Amino acid sequence: MLQQLFSPSVQHTLDLVGIFVFAISGALLAVRKNFDVFGIAVLAEVTALGGGLFRDLMIGAVPPAAFTDLGYFITPLFAALLVFFLHPHVERIQAGVNVFDAAGLGLFCVSGTVKAYDYGLSLTSSAALGLATAVGGGVLRDVLANETPSLLRWDRDLYAVPAIVGATISVLCIHYDALTPLTSGLAIVTAFVLRLLAMRFHWRAPRAWNRRSTVREE
């Protein structure tokens, strides 16, 4: 039983922080898409909880944590309210939001990997589900908003790669029996810093080789 990386209350607080910042990103997109207050709340919930929901369905952790922990459900509603009333101010501190979002990315790729392994999945599958936990909510957010998922677009700074690195460090630690609060903290920080660097220096992933000029530029 590895699931608690840190003391339960520390872990829970970190989870809520991650959920909160993911919800902010969902609510901000809803405002930009001109959705009403209810659409803002839905997009906040989906972005914050979607990745964990997907992982829990895959590993058979039913009902998912999103429906058993009241804090998980309420937190995105607070984020939605905040954005509803104060969104010009929230947008102004977008850079700050991005830093927290990077922290959420780091946290969820590691905790998602560990939870999947706890439910008996292989190391590779656990890492894949850690990645899905970290990025799944954002993909659902973009699908509901009828946009091409920013995760898949070439013209966005690296987002998946930091999560893949964090998940990979986690499964290596598990494999070598070295998963401790210290090493998992390191995995989180590595993913977090990589994402910050990717935003700072606009690191991007390559597109297919020899793309023909007829390829649609979007």
How far apart are the C-alpha atoms of 151 and 146, rounded to whole Å? Answer: 14
How far apart are the C-alpha atoms of 124 and 175, rounded to whole Å? Answer: 11
To the nearest whole angstrom, how small is the minimum distance from the Cβ of residue 95 to its own copies? 18
To the nearest whole angstrom, how small is the minimum distance from the Cβ of residue 58 to its own copies? 6
Give residues with Cβ within 8 angstroms of 182, minimum separation 6.
none
Contact criterion met (CB below 8 Å) for 190 and 106: yes
To the nearest whole angstrom, how small is the minimum distance from the Cβ of residue 194 to its own copies? 14
How far apart are the C-alpha atoms of 211 and 99, rounded to whole Å? Answer: 34
Residue 27 or 183 with smaller CB distance to its own copies: 27
Give residues with Cβ within 8 angstroms of 135, minimum separation 6.
51, 105, 151, 159, 160, 163
How far apart are the C-alpha atoms of 15 and 11, rounded to whole Å? Answer: 6
Residue 6 or 153 with smaller CB distance to its own copies: 153
Residue 110 or 116 with smaller CB distance to its own copies: 116
To the nearest whole angstrom, how small is the minimum distance from the Cβ of residue 13 to its own copies? 20
To the nearest whole angstrom, how small is the minimum distance from the Cβ of residue 62 to its own copies? 4
Residue 1 or 208 with smaller CB distance to its own copies: 208
Instruction: Name the residues that contact its own copies, by CB under 8 A.
Output: 30-40, 42-43, 53, 57-60, 62-64, 67-68, 70, 73, 83-85, 87-88, 119-122, 124-125, 128-129, 139, 143-149, 151-154, 160-161, 204-212, 215-218
Q: What is each CA distance from 8 to 4, 14, 118, in whole angstroms?
A: 6, 10, 16
Residue 200 or 216 with smaller CB distance to its own copies: 216
